[in-house]
Amino acid sequence: MFSPSECLEFVDYSDKVRPMVIRTNTLKTRRKDLALALMKRGVSLDPLANWSKVGLKIMESPVPVGATPEYLSGHYMLQSAASMCPVLALSPQPKERVLDMSAAPGGKTSYIAQLMRNTGVIFANDLRADRQKATVANMHRLGVKNVIACIHDGRKLSKLFSQFKFDRILLDAPCSGLGVISRDPSVKVQRTIADVKKTAHLQKELLLAAIDVLNHKSKTGGYMVYSTCSISVAENEEVVNYALEKRDIKIVDTELDFGTPAFTRYQQKRFHPSISKTRRFYPHVHNMDGFYVAKIQKLSDKKKGESEEKKTETKKEGDEKQAIPKDNNDATKQKQTSGKKKKGKRKGGKEKDEAANPARVAKRIKVSVPPKKNTSNKKKKDKKQNAKMTKPRRQKVVE
* 126 is an annotated ligand-binding site residue: yes
- Give the ranges where the chain is alpha helix by DSSP (H): 4-15, 31-40, 69-72, 81-90, 107-115, 129-142, 157-160, 187-190, 193-212, 237-246, 283-286, 304-342, 350-356, 358-365, 376-390
Q: Is 42 annotated as a binding residue?
A: no
Residue 108 annotated in ligand binding? yes
- Distance from C-alpha of 167 to C-alpha of 317, rounded to nearest angstrom: 39
Nearest to 30 by CA among 139, 144, 114: 114
Q: Is 318 annotated as a binding residue?
A: no
| Catalytic site includes residue 150 | no
194 to each of 190, 211, 234, 267, how far by Cα in Å? Answer: 11, 26, 11, 19
| 106 annotated ligand binder | yes
The reply to whether 319 sits in an annotated binding site is no
Catalytic member of 85, 150, 175, 229:
229
CB proximity list for 279: less than 8 A, separation 6 or greater? 85, 89, 254, 256, 259, 260, 261, 262, 292, 293, 294
- Nearest C-alpha neighbor of 177 from the set 83, 23, 90, 291: 291
User: Is 382 annotated as a binding-site member?
Assistant: no
Q: Cis peptide leading into 105, omega within 30 of 0?
A: yes
Establish whether 35 is an annotated binding residue. no
Q: How far is 81 from 229, CA to CA, in rounded Å?
A: 12
C-alpha 177/C-alpha 184 separation (Å) is 8
Instruction: List residues forming the annotated binding site.
Output: 102-108, 126, 153, 172
The catalytic residues are 229
Instruction: List residues forming the annotated binding site for S-adenosyl-L-methionine.
Output: 102-108, 126, 153, 172
